[in-house]
Amino acid sequence: KIKPLVNEGPSWPVHAHWSMSSRPLLLVYRLFYPSTCIIFTSDNGGPLDHCTNYPYRGGKHTFWDGGVRVVSYISGGAVPESRRGSRYDGLLHSSDWYKTVFEGIAGGELPASTGFMPPDGVNAWDAIMEDKASPRTEVVHQVWNNIFNESVSVMRLGDYKLIRGDPGTDLILSFPKPGPMPTPFGQSGGVKEQGTDHCRAPSGT
């Protein structure tokens, strides 16, 4: 019996490493790897108090690209060898994962109605795998109406973005320049495993 991957073990991101290192999961992973698809994605840019979204302006809670443009990656045996290690720059929205996974990867077909509102995402699997233009041409980042109002409305159409109102700080935080002296790893005795690139915190932390 495979244990659930949520609500167990250390907190994220250590949780991901802990879950993926469990023996039952590794066994299943090896057996089903040829048809496995692993997707990592984010919901927004990093907070500006401790992240950099360089070279984009803004960060989390803003509507500049630093706040809404994120990196994702797809891995696993389901990805054709010809596309492994490649990059896709097509326009997509988080809602597109629904159809992309269910229809594009799993081969299902969503009904016209799955609730009080029809799905508005697109199936981008073929476009990603064949490096073709994205089926999505626009993204509504924020609405401003009588139900929801943050005094800003934002949408993107192709290479253009329309912003009405205050999109938040446009601060650009670049990566810090390397210091003149090497910095010892860790502030509390962290160690690097011999012969590997694995870094570990001291025992008991």
Predicted local distance difference test score (pLDDT) of residue 148: 80
Q: Is 19 left (phi over 0), alpha (psi -120 to 50) or beta?
A: alpha
Q: 180: how many CB neighbours lie within 10 A of its CB?
A: 5
User: Quick check: helix, strand or coil at residue 28?
Assistant: helix
Predicted local distance difference test score (pLDDT) of residue 130: 95
Which of 87, 201, 93 is CA-nearest to residue 139? Answer: 93
CB 142 within 8 A of CB 122: no
**pLDDT tens series, the chain, 205 aa:** 333 333 333 333 444 444 555 555 666 667 788 888 889 898 899 998 888 899 999 999 999 999 999 999 999 888 999 999 999 999 999 999 999 999 999 999 888 778 888 888 999 999 999 999 999 999 999 988 888 888 899 999 999 999 999 999 999 988 878 778 766 666 666 777 777 777 776 665 4
